[in-house]
Amino acid sequence: MRIVFVGPPGAGKGTQAQRLKDHLGVVHLSTGDMLREAHQAGTDLGRQAASYFQVGKLVPDQVVVGVVAERLSQADCVDGCLFDGFPRTVAQAKALDAMLAEQGMPLDLVVAIEIPHEEVFQRLASRGRPDDDLATVRERLEQFHSLTEPLAQYYERQGILRRVNGTGSPEQVFERIKRVIELAKQPSN
Ligand code: B4P
């Protein structure tokens, strides 16, 4: 299956994608992890990306799309893929549709993980990554509202959006996600 996880910062996209990757046995593609790895490796792309993610801004579409296109062309993605944090803009969603159409592999499902703002701040304060300070999280939420939320409508029109309550324990959220995936696998869906 090809599944996208979308949601505000700290919604649990990465947490749930890790679990689902093991459950479904498919590749986990996290653009956040890929950009941080490129930064740690000291590449030009990593330096460019860091100048955005360190201040809570989205990395430009063409940079992220390039990274994903390269990863998607690798053989292990053929059997399925979990997109964690990608796409984050409508332009990225259109680019992903085009890449998948070229490979004859449509997107099966988009799981929107929903949590209230107060919980975003609580979760990220206890994680403490460099981009988890209060001002940067506010900016990340702002970017989510203006650039990522319009994705819901984009995927709703395609009939593949499923909203999942992201509050409660990671186990409870995972059970909800497995349920929407099972439903999506049924022939009538
Ligand atoms: P990401 O790495 O995707 O970061 P995130 O939104 O904070 O992560 P996530 O929702 O996965 O939270 P997690 O499970 O870790 O992006 C970082 C930055 O990279 C972005 O701001 C942007 O600048 C850039 N970027 C990435 N992709 C991009 C793209 N496509 N385009 C442009 N820019 C891009 O959970 C967070 C915390 O909550 C953890 O501590 C976890 O343990 C905890 N948690 C999770 N589930 C919980 C639960 N149910 N209960 C309690 N705590 C929970």
Report the residue among 4, 6, 13, 34 best suited for mutation to probe ligand 1: largest number of ligand atoms under 8 A from its CB. 13
Per-residue pLDDT, 189: 54
CA trace torsion 23, 122, 131, 139 (10° rounding): 110
In the chain, which stretches have pLDDT less than 50?
none
CB atoms within 10 A of CB 54: 12
Per-residue pLDDT, 188: 65
Determine the Cα–Cα distance for residues 96 and 106; give it in Å rounded to an integer. Answer: 10
Per-residue pLDDT, 187: 74
Query: Three-state SS for 142?
Result: helix
Closest-CA residue, ligand 1 atom 12, reads 10
CA angle, 104 then 110 then 113, to 5°: 160
pTM for this model (two decimals): 0.95
User: What's the gap in Å between 170 CA and the centre of ligand 1?
Assistant: 14
